[in-house]
Amino acid sequence: MLPRLVSNLAALLALTTTLVPVQAGPLCFAVESATACVYSTQDAGDALIRIEYPPQLGWVAFGLGTGMNSADVMMAYALPDGSISITRRSSSGHFLPTLASTQDLTITNSSSSSSGNVVTFRRPLAAASASTPSIQQSTQPLIWAGYTGSPPTSPGAIPQHTVSGVASGNLLDGSMAFAHSSPSAPPPTIVTGDDGSRDRRLRIIHGTLMAFAWVGLAPAAILIARFGKKALGVWWFRIHFTLFGLCAALTYAAFAIVYRVVADTGENHYDYSASGIHVILGLLVVILTAPQAFLGIVIDKLWSPTRKSIPWRDKLHWWLGRLTFLLAVINIPFGIALFYRDDNNNNRPAWPYILYALLLGAAVVAFVGLAIKSRREAAGHHVAVASNDNTGHKDDRRGQLDRPTSAQTLDPARDIP
């Protein structure tokens, strides 16, 4: 008796469950004071998706993926004729996603009016490319974005988002199905995102630290080591060490900042396709800075006033420093270009490049001027030596400057060629 009763109750509960409508749980996200919602369910082997957003938003988009480095994006914006454009795009970095080669989104209904914009469309479950995810029968990570302002004038002229964020959901199991007509549907949860201002500030700090380190501190450290030994005496190394130590510290601080920014966006830290050559050159600078600093400390500890020649480790320090400095100054313009590409596709001011060129030019002028002065002083010294030669022969000893005899004390001013 009891088993049959339990069985009947279970069957009744199962039947009741099938009759209760699925509660809608759309992805609703806030773009400043406006709210946009995305609904989805499976229909005849496709995803049937509905996007609703108010007219103060120029465009809205959502996609499958954990970040902008690899996402399958669907973007909607109103057209002048009162319909809605929906395009499928592939994202490979923190910039405008490119149009997919195949535009296979089929609109079933769309309208644009002062009361709001709505577009319903079908989307195949397959991914747009091998690098982007497909729609699965499971909860998946989603990204979203919206722009406050006028709609785009063309598919290639999309202004940067006002706010973006991440979420998750199952696009196929009915949990995100459209259910406005159901009086029992709970109010949707509205997710909030980031307007990008924090990441923008951190990217600016990253670039400022790197520029100050390699266009300010590094050239000063090099000039002191190359031309300041005679004037500064024992202080040349202390100042050189301090300046380059600060350069190394700022380099690693800047690296940590941008590493955190990239981690927050979900992108690949060393993705050449997304960040170009800047990420490769920057990584080389970060890798080479530590051994260059360590080598300088070792050289100082092993220096001997009675040595007869310049050791290989000194020469390695010279050339490793030159290589690291060259990579850094080459990489800074690439970083400026990458920042403005990510920050605003339509605004790339010239002043950062001009400022960089002026600072680097000042360092070059200082180096050339001091090099000419040093050569003149060396030439005057050789003339004096030749005029005092008891043999009456002119002796050009420029080749001897860096090779003192065992009876000489090595002049630290000759330590770097």
Using one digit for the tens of pLDDT, what is the confidence trace for 32-63?
999 999 999 999 899 999 999 999 999 999 99
| pLDDT given at position 324 | 96
3-state secondary structure string across the chain: CHHHHHHHHHHHHHHHHHHCCCCCCCEEEEECCEEEEEEEEEECCEEEEEEEECCCEEEEEEEECCCCCCEEEEEEEECCCCCEEEEEEEECCCCCCEECCCCCCEEEEEEEECCEEEEEEEEECCCCCCCCCCCCCCCEEEEEEEEECCCCCCCCCCCCCCEEEEEEECCCCCCECCCCCCCCCCCCCEECCECCHHHHHHHHHHHHHHHHHHHHHHHHHHHHHHHCHHHHCCHHHHHHHHHHHHHHHHHHHHHHHHHHHHHHHCCCCCCHHHHCHHHHHHHHHHHHHHHHHHHHHHHHHHCCCCCCCCCHHHHHHHHHHHHHHHHHHHHHHHHHHHHHHHHCCCCCCCHHHHHHHHHHHHHHHHHHHHHHHHHHHHHHHHHHHHHCCCCCCCCCCHHHCCCCCCCCCCCHHHCCC
Q: What is the average pLDDT across 265-278?
A: 72
CATH topology of domain 197-414: Four Helix Bundle (Hemerythrin (Met), subunit A) (1.20.120)
Instruction: Indicate the pLDDT class of residue 335, thresholds 50, 70 and 90.
Output: very high
Q: What's the pLDDT score for residue 185?
A: 60
Q: What is the mean pLDDT of the chain?
A: 81
Sequence ranges of the domains in the chain? 23-191, 197-414
CATH number, domain 23-191, options 1.20.1440.230, 2.60.40.1210, 3.40.50.300, 3.40.640.10: 2.60.40.1210
Is it the case that residue 147 has pLDDT exceeding 90?
A: yes
Q: What is the pLDDT of residue 188?
A: 75
pLDDT at 400: 34
Higher pLDDT, 344 or 116: 116
pLDDT at 207 over 90: yes
Domains 23-191 and 197-414 share a fold: no
- Kindly tell me if the per-residue pLDDT of 269 is higher than 90: no
Over range 59-82, report the average pLDDT.
90
In this predicted structure, the answer to whether residue 107 has a pLDDT above a threshold of 90 is: yes
What pTM value is reported for the model? Answer: 0.62
Q: Is the pLDDT of residue 273 over 70?
A: no
Average pLDDT over residues 151-161: 88
